[in-house]
Each structure stands twice: as structure tokens, then as C-alpha cells.
């Protein structure tokens, strides 16, 4: 059992559904549940297509989705597209199932808590029946930002993200690998035919993620802006975001430049970051890096330094595994903080 999950013997008795179990996040969540000690027979995995998941020494059958099957569970994780979650989540809640939705469908609904447990886990004390999981980039940026907000107050935040191919799910990872394989065999690494990206990603950077609106902002950028404000409970916070896709398999990175409300004291901040739950402070001036952070639970933060705009100016670089803390792990941590009684 991993203590970070807060998975108690009572949690182990829950009958849990993972909807969308065939996707990258669904597979990761099933692996984490097994690592937390959950018995395979108490997991119900559904997806559009039936198959068998081989996860280490365990195998999990995935059945074609049925509301009736999932409605027999105590808790359901929805690793589903937004359109599916928007309709499915309220149906399951109405049938008595507690739901943690990992899509973007319900995040900005003011009636639904959007939770990063280390930041605003107090919202779970009300034992909500429906909880939204944040955007993966938002979750990674928020862990260090919450420490800074608590110490000095945030006045302005500028986030630039460098997001891995697997942020687009299995198709994104497959596209990058196909392009790299083509390069390795003497080809030009042209955009894979079924790629979810706007251009070839291998040896490239694509400076927008998701569709771009008439004002030049992408959907991913708007999510970061809105979610940081909601989770920090700072609707007045000035947030700017720019997102890019980079040829990394796993882990999103963020470069953050900010202004605080009060003067920053770096030794105090270093100590607070080192003590913060879910964070690792990296002293390597060339780190943290996605390759070394892949598969890790904590978010790594480094290059914490004074900015050039006075004593309230600060910069840092953070890296987190977007499939774990950015998605599956965060959802499991939410469940671990809820009373396990159905």
C-alpha cells in the first residue's frame, strides 16, 4: 500500500469502476489501484471495446461499457472524453455512485469541486458525490504556486508549458514513436498519418495545444487560466498561459514567472517547498527534467530564483508526470481523502 494514496482497509472494500480503462490514463489508474492493494475482483473496468489488461502479475478484464454494471459500484473514475463525461457523470450520481471525473467537462461548474488535494483538499470534507479532476498542466503548476500563494500572495502568474506527446493519449505517443522510427530508418520523420498533432512532432515544437480561437488563444491555455483561479480561490488573479507540445514521451514541464503581493525571501521559500506535500525541490541548476521525472509521484520544482522585476518577482521550472499527478494519481488521492462508506 502506498501511504500517499491514503488507501485504508475500508477503501479496499469499495467496489470501484474505471470507465475508459483502455486509455493511457485508465491503464495508469488501474495500475495505481493495484499498487494500493486493491483486489482485482473489486475492480470493474469498462470501455468502448472489450479486452484484457495485462498489468504486471495481474490481469483485468475490460468489458463493453454499461451504465447498469457501473451503477453497482460505490465509486467510479471517468477516464472518458468530455462529451461522454458530461452526460454519464450525472446519470451515475443519480443512481447512487460517487464519481470522480478526469475530463474537462465539469471543471468550471461552480457547484462541482475541482480539487488538487494538497492545495484545496478541504473541499472534500463536505463529502461531495461528484468531483472534478484538474487539467494535467494546471495540477503540476499548482503545487509550487500554492506554496507561494500561502507565503507571499500571488499578484500575477505567467505559465509557459512544454507538454509531452502522451498528453494526447495513446495516439499522441504512437504518432511520436512512428515519426522517430521513420527518422531512425533514414526517413524525414514526417507527420504520422493518424497523428492527433497539427504537425510532425519529432525534432519539433508545436506552439499551440488544442484548437485556437479567433483571438489566438488555445483551449489548453484557457483551461490553465480558469483552473488556477478556481483551485487557488483567486478569481481576481492575473494569469497568462502559453502552451506548446514537445517531443517528449512523458511528463509535462512548466516555466513560471510571477509577481507576488509581498516581498519574497528565497531561503524561507526553499524551506517551504522542501516541506510541502507532493513536491521535491531540485537543486541541480539544469533540472528538473522530464526523462528523470517520468513515473514519479511528486512534482519536481527547480530553478527557483529571483526575477528581474524587483523583490516581488520570482521564477521557477516544474516537471510532473502528467499521467500520474496530472491525472490518475490525483484522482486516486481525491478518493483516498473521501470517507469510503458508499
- Round to whole Å and give the CA distance between 45 and 30: 8
Percent helix, strand, coil in the chain (nearest 5)?
Answer: 35, 25, 40
pLDDT, tens digit, for every residue of 169-184? Answer: 989 999 999 999 999 9
pLDDT, tens digit, for every residue of 43-65? Answer: 999 999 999 999 988 899 999 99
Q: Strand, coil or helix: what is 247?
A: coil
What percent of the chain has a predicted confidence (pLDDT) above 90? 94
How many other CB atoms sit within 10 Å of the CB of residue 98?
Answer: 24
Tens of pLDDT along the chain (342 residues) come to 344 678 999 999 999 999 999 999 999 999 999 999 999 999 999 999 999 999 988 899 999 999 999 999 999 999 999 999 999 999 999 999 999 999 999 999 999 999 999 999 999 999 999 999 999 999 999 999 999 999 999 999 999 999 999 999 989 999 999 999 999 999 999 998 899 999 999 999 999 998 899 999 999 999 999 999 999 999 999 999 999 999 999 999 999 999 999 999 999 999 999 999 999 999 999 999 999 999 999 999 999 999 999 999 999 999 999 999 999 999 999 999 999 875
Q: Name the one residue in this structure whose C-alpha cell is 447512487.
A: 96
pLDDT, tens digit, for every residue of 89-128? Answer: 999 999 999 999 999 999 999 999 999 999 999 999 999 9
Residues marked as catalytic: 136, 252
Prediction pTM value:
0.94
Domains contained in the chain, CATH given: 3-106 (3.40.50.720), 138-322 (3.30.360.10)
99: left (phi over 0), alpha (psi -120 to 50) or beta: beta
- Round to whole Å and give the CA distance between 277 and 274: 8
Report how far Cα 100 is from the mean position of its chain's Cα atoms: 13
Amino acid at each position: 500500500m502506498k501511504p500517499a494514496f491514503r488507501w485504508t482497509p475500508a477503501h479496499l472494500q469499495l467496489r470501484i469502476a474505471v470507465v475508459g480503462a483502455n486509455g493511457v490514463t485508465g491503464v495508469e489508474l488501474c495500475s495505481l489501484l493495484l499498487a494500493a492493494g486493491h483486489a482485482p475482483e473489486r475492480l470493474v473496468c469498462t470501455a468502448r471495446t472489450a479486452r484484457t489488461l495485462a498489468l504486471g502479475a495481474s490481469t483485468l478484464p475490460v468489458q463493453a461499457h454499461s451504465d447498469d454494471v457501473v451503477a453497482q459500484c460505490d465509486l467510479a473514475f471517468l477516464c472518458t472524453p468530455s462529451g461522454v463525461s458530461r452526460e454519464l457523470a450525472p446519470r451515475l450520481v443519480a443512481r447512487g455512485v460517487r464519481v470522480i471525473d478526469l475530463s474537462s467537462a465539469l471543471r468550471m461548474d461552480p457547484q462541482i469541486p475541482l480539487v488538487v488535494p494538497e492545495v484545496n483538499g478541504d473541499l472534500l470534507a463536505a463529502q461531495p458525490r461528484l468531483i472534478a479532476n484538474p487539467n494535467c498542466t494546471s495540477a503540476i503548476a499548482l503545487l509550487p504556486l500554492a506554496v507561494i500563494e500561502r507565503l507571499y500572495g500571488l499578484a500575477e502568474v505567467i505559465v509557459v508549458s512544454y507538454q509531452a506527446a502522451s498528453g494526447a493519449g495513446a495516439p499522441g505517443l504512437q504518432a511520436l514513436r512512428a515519426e522517430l522510427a521513420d527518422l531512425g530508418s533514414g526517413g524525414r520523420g514526417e507527420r504520422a498519418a493518424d497523428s492527433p498533432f497539427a504537425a510532425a512532432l519529432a525534432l519539433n515544437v508545436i506552439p499551440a495545444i488544442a484548437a485556437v480561437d479567433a483571438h489566438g488563444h488555445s483551449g489548453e491555455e484557457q483551461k490553465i487560466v480558469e483552473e488556477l483561479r478556481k483551485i487557488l480561490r483567486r478569481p481576481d488573479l492575473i494569469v497568462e498561459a502559453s502552451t506548446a507540445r514537445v517531443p517528449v514521451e512523458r511528463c509535462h514541464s512548466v516555466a513560471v514567472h510571477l509577481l507576488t503581493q509581498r516581498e519574497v525571501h528565497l531561503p524561507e521559500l526553499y524551506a517551504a517547498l522542501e516541506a510541502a506535500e507532493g513536491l521535491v525541490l531540485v537543486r541541480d541548476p539544469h533540472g528538473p527534467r522530464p526523462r528523470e521525472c517520468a513515473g514519479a509521484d511528486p512534482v519536481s520544482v527547480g530553478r527557483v530564483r529571483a526575477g528581474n522585476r524587483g523583490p516581488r518577482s520570482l521564477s521557477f521550472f516544474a516537471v510532473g508526470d502528467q499521467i500520474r499527478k496530472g491525472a490518475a494519481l490525483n484522482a486516486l488521492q481525491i478518493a483516498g481523502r473521501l470517507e469510503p462508506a458508499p
